[in-house]
Amino acid sequence: MKLAVLFVCMGNICRSPTAHGVFRDYVQEAGLSHIVEVDSAGTHAYHVGDEPDQRSQKHALKRGYDLSDLTARQLNESDFEKFDLVLVMDWDNHAIAEQLAPRHHQHKLRRLTEFCKTMQSAVVPDPYYKGDEGFEEVLDLVEDACDGLLEHVQARLK
């Protein structure tokens, strides 16, 4: 069995590539890279083809996550066919993705923070107009959620 996970934010330059990079590393450390696919996308086409925001890359790299190979792309309807989980960062992303998702694939759409193990937050807030603390908060939430997500994925693969 294989499993594919897609992370989604607005422009695919801050939150979703951060989650992509963190979860990719968690999957690799767990020895699951051969059966778990990880990707990210944005609900808007503002940054298609761009690398992650330099601030996201800087803060992620401080924690050992290299995002430099990632490139922004836009979420599309076919993603709901390909991916088993489509994890959005906030309610706006959820609403847009829900409109795009075919009815028979809507069950795949969830918020990343549903997988948080210790932190309490309904969403991963957009750090774009915040300072360093905004990007650190994103990483804190993403790492916590990815811990829970890895457990969920491992249970699904059994």
Report the greatest alpha carbon distance in the chain: 41
Show the tokens assigned to 150: 């890895």
Q: Give yes or no: 55 in active site.
A: no
Report whether 12 contacts 40 (CB < 8 A).
yes
Candidates 25, 79, 90, 126; catalytic one: 126
Candidates 14, 15, 73, 90; catalytic one: 15
Q: Give yes or no: 15 in active site.
A: yes
SS3 116: coil
Q: How far is CA 80 from the centre of its chain?
A: 15
Q: Give yes or no: 9 in active site.
A: yes
Show the tokens assigned to 48: 């298609």
Cα distances (angstroms) measured from residue 122 to each of 46, 79, 85, 112: 25, 24, 18, 9
Residues classed as catalytic: 9, 15, 126
